[in-house]
Amino acid sequence: MKRRDFLGYTGLGALGVAASSVLGGCSEEEPSVKFWQQGNFRPVSEEVTETNLKIEGNIPPELSGLYVRNGTNSSNGISDHFFGGDGMMHGVRLEGGEAKWYRNRYVNTPVYRKETGGFGTPKPEDTTSAVSMLYHGGELMSLGEFGYPYLVNPDDLSTKGAFNYDGKLPGNMTAHPRIDPVTGELLFFGYNVVQPYLTYMRADAAGNMLQVEPIEMTGPSMVHDFAVTDNYVVFMEMPVRFSWTMAISGSGLPFKWDDDAPSRFGVMPRNGTNADVKWFDVPTCFIFHIMNSYEQGDDVIVDAARYDNLWVKNSHDFFHPAHLSRFSMNMKTGKASVQRIHDHAMEFPTVNRNYWTKDYRYGYSLVVDEKNDTPERIGQSEGGIRKYDLKTGADDSYLPGPSLTPAEAIFIPARESGGLEDEGYLASYVYDKNAQTSAFCLFDATKVSAGPIAKVQLPVRVPVGFHGLWVPDSVVS
């Protein structure tokens, strides 16, 4: 891959999946049939609309809105890399105790329309936009790892076009922004393989850009997520680095573990500048996803899915489990610490988003079957959904066995305000391996192990994907 070609390698967007129980992974000597050509990793071939949906159980009547999830789905059939597929959204509309419709739609980008070759040319609108969804400033957006977001019509999931904050977005936007639940402010960043390696940004509740601040880093690290508290933002610089050797070889994604790179957190006031960043060294690790973050006295707390290492051989080297761990950075002493707070492997951590930036009690994640997480047992691992009580240390898990595989679970509050932290529901697409179908499932978040309280059978399989969003009617402009 030439240097110029890589600078437009905007199809890297699906970097958000790191849990190998979800991906399946590849061995060092890749098999002739890749994991993304098997089972529920295979793309679906058609865009479908279905309004006659059958429901098992009962959908709570107070839930009125759209659940939508993004993921990679190659319009060419099979992509050269699992992360290389086009963005496809899968949405279910809930209203009055009914599932009004299901739609799956491609994000209509120049890459999807085949107006650019491969992963696109060095323009920020040339992205697969395949990682996550955001609703902010009155707009629903599809997000990738690189490039501009794309505006989406929540009524039918059609693509309205690229969005760049009236020209103030300098290029890349993360797939993991954070919305302050009190002020509605959007805090986000973009990273790149050329300087500035990281750029921090803020937008007000109406979607107007307030700040664009380049952040100094020692090199081009993969930075998939970041943390936000009441007063601070927290950046991560870790040893999965851009590699020219990998880029030139064309083998997988051009990122690889670098033993010489730092592992550190940079804590900065939310309205601060690069000069205000205070860096904290932590034991060598990598993090894709953060569960939540908050302040406790002089400490900035970050709970995340921590890997000891990742992508040591190449970008197919997923066989390293993540564990829920707590990082503490003391702003007075300058010292940092980390402790594992749950013994079992996990990924895709989520919380009640009304508690973003706040001290919290409950979190949720996918269960990773570490024992069966090998190349030889792709599709045979037993996953599930886990609830964590971070005050008592207890957990409660939905473990449906090898035939059913849940996707990321998104918390939906039972009411808009005044409810208890776990008073609500978890939404997930669940794949049935035996029937080769998928269902949209709702769980009572106070009793996850009881299984779905409602199941909406879908007309198509929903392939393995990434991150979703609940958009209640009350916030739609």
Tokens of 201: 């940004």
The set of residues, in sequence order, having a beta carbon less than 8 Å from that of 331 and lying 6+ positions away, is 267, 278, 298, 299, 300
Which three-class secondary structure state does DSSP give residue 446? coil
Query: Distance between CA atoms of 290 and 176, rounded to whole angstroms?
Result: 9
Give me the DSSP letters along 135-190.
Answer: EETTEEEEE-SSS--EEE-TTT--EEEE--TTTT--S---S--EE-TTT--EEEEE
**67-117 residue pLDDT tens:** 999 999 999 877 777 777 899 999 999 999 999 999 999 999 999 999 886
Please identify which residue in the block is written with the tokens 């060095």.
122
- Assign 13 a pLDDT band (cuts: 50, 70, 90): very low
Give Cα separations from 295 to 165, 227, 263 (angstroms).
30, 11, 21
- So what's the pLDDT on residue 283? 98
Q: Give mean pLDDT, residues 462-477.
A: 94
- So what's the pLDDT on residue 215? 98
Query: Distance between CA atoms of 61 and 51, rounded to whole angstroms?
Result: 18
Which three-class secondary structure state does DSSP give residue 312? coil
**374-416 residue pLDDT tens:** 555 566 678 999 999 999 999 999 999 999 999 999 999 998 8
**346-373 residue pLDDT tens:** 999 999 999 999 999 999 999 998 776 5
Query: Distance between CA atoms of 349 and 227, rounded to whole angstroms?
Result: 13
Query: In terms of DSSP H, where are the helices of 74-191?
Result: none
Give Cα separations from 310 to 181, 257, 258, 316 (angstroms).
32, 6, 10, 9
The pairing of beta strand 278-281 with beta strand 264-269: antiparallel
Please identify which residue in the block is written with the tokens 């851009």.
242
**68-82 residue pLDDT tens:** 999 999 998 777 777
* CA angle centred on 101, ends 441 and 418, rounded to 5°: 55
Q: Give mean pLDDT, residues 10-23.
A: 34
Phi, psi of 228 (to 5 degrees): -135, 135
CB 465 within 8 A of CB 86: no
- Assign 118 a pLDDT band (cuts: 50, 70, 90): low
CB 285 within 8 A of CB 270: no
Is 220 exposed, middle or buried (CB count within 10 Å of its CB: 0-12, 13-18, 19+)? buried
Which three-class secondary structure state does DSSP give residue 280? strand
- So what's the pLDDT on residue 270? 98
Side-chain half-sphere CA neighbours of 372 within 13 A = 14
Q: 119 pLDDT exceeds 70?
A: no
Between 477 and 428, where is the model more confident?
428
Peptide bond just before 196 cis, omega within 30 deg: yes
The set of residues, in sequence order, having a beta carbon less than 8 Å from that of 269 and lying 6+ positions away, is 231, 232, 233, 276
Query: Distance between CA atoms of 78 and 43, rounded to whole angstroms?
Result: 7
Strand partners, 135: 140
CATH of the domain at 218: 2.130.10
Query: Distance between CA atoms of 237 and 454, rounded to whole angstroms?
Result: 41
Give Cα separations from 398 to 366, 383, 430, 444 (angstroms).
10, 9, 12, 11
CB 329 within 8 A of CB 267: yes
For residue 368, the enclosing domain spans 3-475
Q: How many domains does the chain have?
A: 1
> Which one, of 60, 123, 93, lies nearest residue 452 by Cα?
60
Tokens of 467: 């991150």
Q: Give mean pLDDT, residues 197-219.
A: 98
- So what's the pLDDT on residue 379? 65
Query: 93-126 burial by CB neighbour count: b if 16+ within 10 A, else e?
Result: bbeeeebebbbbbbbbbbbbeeebeebbbeebbb
- So what's the pLDDT on residue 268? 98
**417-447 residue pLDDT tens:** 788 999 999 999 999 999 999 999 999 999 9
Number of other CB atoms surrounding residue 46 within 10 Å: 7
CB 234 within 8 A of CB 266: yes
Q: 129 pLDDT exceeds 80?
A: yes
- Assign 16 a pLDDT band (cuts: 50, 70, 90): very low
Tokens of 247: 């880029």
- So what's the pLDDT on residue 191? 96
**C-alpha dihedral (78, 82, 86, 89), degrees to nearest 10:** 110
Mean pLDDT over each residue of the chain, to the nearest integer = 90
> Which one, of 448, 350, 460, lies nearest residue 91 by Cα?
460
Query: Distance between CA atoms of 426 and 442, rounded to whole angstroms?
Result: 6
Strand partners, 318: none
Q: 28 pLDDT exceeds 50?
A: no
The set of residues, in sequence order, having a beta carbon less than 8 Å from that of 199 and lying 6+ positions away, is 170, 171, 172, 189, 190, 191, 192, 212, 213, 214, 215
Q: 26 pLDDT exceeds 90?
A: no
